[in-house]
Amino acid sequence: MTEQKEKPIAVRLLNTVCAFLLIGSAVYIFLVGIGLIPSLIFLAAIGGLSGPIVVSGGSESIFDSFASVFEAFVEGILGVFETIGEIFGSIFG
């Protein structure tokens, strides 16, 4: 396995925002239906997740690319929960 590096704050923020938009637009499309704006938000979120991976050249095969995009998505979701936890911690701490 390769050694994990700490990602820059801009990439972590991009992953968090894109994961949040991806989940939100997917829920909206599921509940309301496919529209132009939610579809564009969905595609922009996927592009935001996969863009830094493609530019960095960190993937050697198509499987590595999909795994890296999934990893970025999970890190984005974790970033959302970290932010929520920090907000509640600062309020009650």
Summarised one tens digit per residue, pLDDT across range 40-59 is: 999 999 999 888 888 877 66
Please, which pLDDT band fits residue 3 given cuts at 50, 70 and 90?
Answer: low
Tokens 């960095």, residue located: 56
For the entire predicted model, the pTM comes to: 0.77
The answer to whether residues 8 and 68 touch, using CB atoms and an 8 Å cutoff, is no
Q: Which percentage of the chain shows pLDDT scores above 90?
A: 42
| Contacts by 80-89, CB closer than 8 A, 24 or more apart | 80/16, 80/19, 80/20, 83/16
Q: For the residues 10-35, what does the mean pLDDT come to?
A: 90
Range 23-29 contact pairs with CB under 8 angstroms and sequence separation of 24 or more? 23/77
